[in-house]
Amino acid sequence: MTDDWRHLPAAARPIAAATDAAVAAALAHDSAALAGAAGDLAALDQAQVGLILGTTVRLMLEDRHPDGLDGDDVRAVLTHCVRESATWAPDVDPHVLLFLLAGALGVLEEDGEPPPKPDTLARHAALLLADLRGWRSTRDHLDRALGEIERAQLND
């Protein structure tokens, strides 16, 4: 599966492949495949996974809300994702999705609570990415996010 991602830096390839598989599983409502792909993501470097998935979510939100995002918009995204996901993934947790949204938007406040486990974060990130995906492919979204990360790192 990583052959499809040869154009990416080596560290990003397994993240992109596992994310693509997780989102495909979420779109297909395939719980077993989602669990496997989420497990693959959870086994990778969590700082890199978080950066790539968080940037992807942020860019998707910016696409949907080019004039900016307010609290009502975030609530609508959260509500839609929970309702759509709950039809086939009854263990969807709104708090985990909110954690991911806040992290992607750079407004996550550390409150002393431990973060959700990596496999839980990965599974919920796939649900969120599938719900936000729109007309672009997961590959397009990931390519855009990785390009933005590369530009940010070059400019630092």
The DSSP secondary-structure symbol of 133 reads -
pLDDT number for residue 51: 94
82-132 pLDDT, tens digit per residue, is 999 999 999 999 999 999 999 999 998 887 888 899 999 999 999 999 999
Query: Is 1 or 11 the better-scoring residue by pLDDT?
Result: 11
pLDDT number for residue 10: 81
Query: Is 130 or 155 the better-scoring residue by pLDDT?
Result: 130
20-66 pLDDT, tens digit per residue, is 999 999 999 999 999 999 999 999 999 999 999 999 999 999 999 99
Distance CA 81, CA 22 (A): 15
Say how many residues make up the chain: 156
Task: To the nearest 10°, report the CA torsion of 127, 43, 40, 20.
Answer: 60
Distance CA 150, CA 141 (A): 14
DSSP for 63-77, please give it: HH-TT---HHHHHHH
pLDDT number for residue 1: 45
User: With 80 as the cut, is the pLDDT of residue 156 above it?
Assistant: no
User: With 70 as the cut, is the pLDDT of residue 2 above it?
Assistant: no
pLDDT number for residue 151: 87
Distance CA 75, CA 30 (A): 26
pLDDT band at 3 (very low <50, low <70, confident <90, very high): low
What residue type is assigned to position 11 of the chain? Answer: A
pLDDT number for residue 7: 81
Distance CA 20, CA 17 (A): 5
Q: Cα angle vertex 118, ends 11, 84, to 5°?
A: 105
